[in-house]
Amino acid sequence: MANMNIIGAVNSALDLALGADEDVFVFGEDVGKFGGVFRATDGLQDKYGEGRVFDTPLSEAGIIGTAIGMAIYGLKPVPEIQFSDFIFPAFDQIVNEMAKFRYRSGGQYTCPITIRTPYGGGIRGGHYHSQSPEAYFAHTAGLKVVIPSDPYTTKGLLLASIDDPDPVIFLEPKRVYRASKGEVPEGHYTLPLGKCTIDREGTDVTIVAYGALLHEARKAADLLAENDVSAEIVDVRTLVPLDEETILESVRKTGRVVICHEAARTCGFGGELAAVISEKALLHLEAPILRVTGYDTPFPYTLEQQYLPDAFKIFEACETTVDF
């Protein structure tokens, strides 16, 4: 075991994947010699050479188009998009090509690409470096969408994503890149895609969260405990495929649910979670489903802390639903 932050966990996972399989390639803007803007790929080019870990031009469509060609040829590319806000020039390649190759080829070809990209706010990056685009990709059939919350889940889910035969959008919560630390196995291990986990047991209200908001949910649960409210926390981990049953079991137990994400509220992934709960656990609910989300505005620079959901907003929503 080693104490790592999320950056270290990413680096360790990529190191192990590159070392174990010569078909794995890592590339993107500044990921080679410089080691990435967040240093997640630091040292990998020196260890595996410019042929396996390399820099690309500033062309997201080109990066993903190249990855698709490599994947169809039988390789396992792991491209990085420097910020998730920059992924949209590659949207056509991701949605119309990468996501559809298994279907359009009748299962003859898979497209084993893992796109790593930092997402979310918390670094005062303003509207070009702070977006949370998970709902766009969760809506796209053929893609898997994975969001870790801490170093342990980051490494295990990233290694599982690289091993997966289908394309994965791997969104890394950059707000806690270095703030989240923990004990992580130094060797290879995987965590199953499509499986939520109960981060904390509780009886009065279920908080559903992922990414950096898991840490805010934990703080909110601590505040609730001081007020004699027992909160259960579900860490979603994999938005697609979604582990509905773990969420539903928790909601059936508590009868109340608060869903949290950084992305804007309208058509955010929380709406899908609320729909699943309404369709399959409605008669167990003792209060309306509440959402704590970002606002329906471009991500602000000067008002970032007001925009972002935090522990107190989650606490207030939980108090509201418990008192309903």
**CATH number of the domain enclosing 36:** 3.40.50.970
Q: Is there a single domain that holds both residue 144 and residue 237?
A: no
HSE-up of residue 159 (Cα within 13 Å, Cβ side): 24
* Per-residue model confidence (pLDDT) at position 2: 96
Q: What's this model's pTM, rounded to 2 decimal places? A: 0.97
Q: Is there a single domain that holds both residue 161 and residue 27?
A: yes
* Per-residue model confidence (pLDDT) at position 228: 97
Q: Is there a single domain that holds both residue 124 and residue 203?
A: no
Catalytic residue among 127, 129, 139, 284: 129
Q: Is residue 239 part of a domain?
A: yes
Number of domains composing the chain: 2
The rounded distance, in Å, linking the Cα atoms of 117 and 121 is: 13
Q: Is there a single domain that holds both residue 178 and residue 57?
A: yes
Is 215 marked active-site?
Answer: no
* Per-residue model confidence (pLDDT) at position 15: 98
Ranges in the chain, pLDDT < 50: none
* Per-residue model confidence (pLDDT) at position 301: 84
Q: Is there a single domain that holds both residue 207 and residue 306?
A: yes
pLDDT tens for 192-232 read 999 999 999 999 999 999 999 999 999 999 999 999 999 99
What residue numbers bound the domain in which 50 lies? 2-184
Specify the 3-state DSSP secondary structure of 278. Answer: helix
* Per-residue model confidence (pLDDT) at position 124: 86
* Per-residue model confidence (pLDDT) at position 191: 98
**CATH number of the domain enclosing 315:** 3.40.50.920
Q: Is there a single domain that holds both residue 180 and residue 201?
A: no
The rounded distance, in Å, linking the Cα atoms of 174 and 7 is: 9
Q: Is there a single domain that holds both residue 44 and residue 112?
A: yes
Q: Is residue 192 part of a domain?
A: no
* Per-residue model confidence (pLDDT) at position 71: 97
Q: Is residue 191 part of a domain?
A: no
